[in-house]
């Protein structure tokens, strides 16, 4: 059970959370169709250990000791179970997008281990990484990036067209139905509102039946009412069994998820159920300010 629950939370120490047992098990039954619990512990969908990610500084140089590097992630440990609804939260520059890109196999860490759905992706090359990504991950971004002159249904079918899936139109219509846009299938993006366009983008992410739905600031370009509607949609997708990870700097958005992972300066400072955070039962720890990579890098990136 412990593997499926929220991470241990560096902030919680010995005090523990207010509620007994892993909260994810309790909250799953709230507000929708409960997800069937596995009889025995199953490995977490996302298992991240000691992830470090650095970027070279503006002038592109990287000293032998890494002194001019920006460390976007400084030793992140994280597990996310199937069926969780998680927010990755933090101020601008805290490493949220870097972490999301690694979870989504768009990028790889410089150090550490990442196992996604039982596949160790830490050592994969670009092609193998792309195959894992296409099979397991659906992305939603702040800017939905739809093809402007292409009907919603064809935008949604695009990931399947790349795979040569002959059944793509039916699947695309089903995905549009799942996001409440069944009636708008033949509309072009410029005939749709911002919220509707984001729904099309979510349908496009869902159409391949990914193991994880990853959204980076999905409400960032929407007004608060429309953004709340998009979060309700993620909530419904979670209730129907999806694993959903939303990256946000907005605490209102994070409060609509069930578990929050707070980043600051590339480190996790809080990992706890949203209920426990809202009730004040847990607070963020201070990041280890003097963090240094354990070993200097021998060569530049
Ligand atoms: P967030 O999404 O929380 O705003 P990011 O993950 O985008 O944070 O960035 C974390 C840190 O890494 C920031 O200091 C940012 O400037 C730096 N960074 C991100 N991407 C790059 C890049 N491609 N090159 C250099 N530095 C980067
Ligand atoms: Mg970002």
What domains lie within the chain, and their CATH numbers?
A: 23-278 (3.40.50.300)
Ligand 1 closest atom vs CA 249: 3
Chain segment 24-52, per-residue pLDDT in tens: 333 333 333 344 444 455 569 999 999 99
Residues paired with residue 121 on neighbouring β-strands, in sequence order = none
Lowest mean pLDDT: which of 20-24, 130-134, 149-153? Answer: 20-24
Ligand 1 centroid to residue 266 C-alpha, Å:
9
CA distance 87 to 117: 19
Of 51, 70, 262, best ligand 1 pocket probe by most atoms within 8 Å of the beta carbon:
70
Q: Whose CA is nearest to atom 14 of ligand 1?
A: 93
Q: Whose CA is nearest to atom 10 of ligand 1?
A: 95
**Whether the Cβ atoms of residue 53 and residue 110 lie closer than 8 Å to each other:** yes
Model confidence, pTM:
0.82
Considering only CA atoms, which of 201, 252, 245 is closest in space to residue 100? 245
- H or E stretch including 108? none
CA dihedral 165, 199, 155, 132 (to 10 degrees): -50
Ligand 1 centroid to residue 97 C-alpha, Å:
7
Lowest mean pLDDT: which of 28-42, 87-101, 107-121, 181-195? Answer: 28-42
Ligand 2 centroid to residue 174 C-alpha, Å:
30
Lowest mean pLDDT: which of 67-76, 195-204, 205-214, 289-298? Answer: 289-298
Q: Whose CA is nearest to atom 17 of ligand 1?
A: 72
Chain segment 261-272, per-residue pLDDT in tens: 999 999 999 999
Does the structure show a pLDDT above 70 at 273? Answer: yes
**Whether the Cβ atoms of residue 122 and residue 114 lie closer than 8 Å to each other:** yes
DSSP structure class, residue 38: P
* Strands 119-120 and 85-89, sheet pairing: unpaired
Question: What local confidence, expressed as pLDDT, does residue 41 receive?
Answer: 53
Distance of CA 23 to the CA centre of its chain: 19
CA distance 301 to 296: 13
Residues 6+ apart with CB under 8 A from 289: 265
Considering only CA atoms, which of 104, 133, 116, 111 is closest in space to residue 80? 116
Specify whether the backbone of 75 is left (phi greater than 0), alpha (psi in -120 to 50) or beta.
left
CA distance 210 to 26: 25
**Whether the Cβ atoms of residue 242 and residue 83 lie closer than 8 Å to each other:** yes
């Amino acid at each position: 059970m412990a593997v499926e629950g929220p991470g241990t939370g560096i902030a919680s120490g010995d005090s523990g959370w207010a509620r007994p047992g892993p909260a994810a098990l309790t909250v799953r039954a709230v507000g929708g169709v409960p997800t069937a619990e596995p009889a025995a512990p199953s490995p977490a969908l996302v298992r991240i250990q000691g992830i470090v990610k650095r970027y070279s500084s503006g002038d592109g140089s990287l000293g032998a000791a890494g002194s001019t590097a920006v460390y976007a992630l400084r030793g992140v440990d994280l597990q996310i179970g199937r069926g969780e609804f998680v927010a990755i939260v933090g101020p601008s520059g805290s490493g949220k997008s870097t972490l999301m890109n690694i979870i989504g196999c768009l990028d790889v860490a410089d150090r550490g281990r990442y196992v996604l759905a039982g596949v160790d992706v830490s050592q994969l090359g670009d092609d193998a990484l792309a195959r894992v990504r296409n099979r397991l991950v659906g992305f939603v971004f702040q800017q939905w990036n739809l093809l402007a002159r292409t009907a919603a249904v064809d935008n949604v079918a695009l990931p399947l067209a790349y795979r040569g899936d002959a059944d793509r139109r039916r699947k695309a219509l089903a995905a549009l139905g799942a996001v409440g846009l069944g009636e708008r299938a033949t509309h072009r993006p410029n005939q749709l509102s911002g919220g509707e366009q984001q729904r099309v983008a979510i349908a496009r992410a869902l159409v391949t039946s990914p193991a994880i739905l990853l959204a980076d600031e999905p409400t960032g370009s929407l007004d608060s009412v429309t953004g709340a509607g998009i979060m309700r949609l993620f909530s419904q997708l979670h209730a129907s069994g999806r694993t959903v990870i939303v990256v946000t700097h907005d605490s209102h958005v994070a409060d609509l998820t069930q578990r929050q992972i707070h980043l600051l300066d590339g480190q996790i400072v809080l990992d706890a159920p949203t209920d426990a955070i809202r009730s004040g039962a847990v607070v963020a720890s201070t990041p280890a300010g003097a963090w240094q990579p354990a070993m200097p890098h021998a060569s530049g990136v």
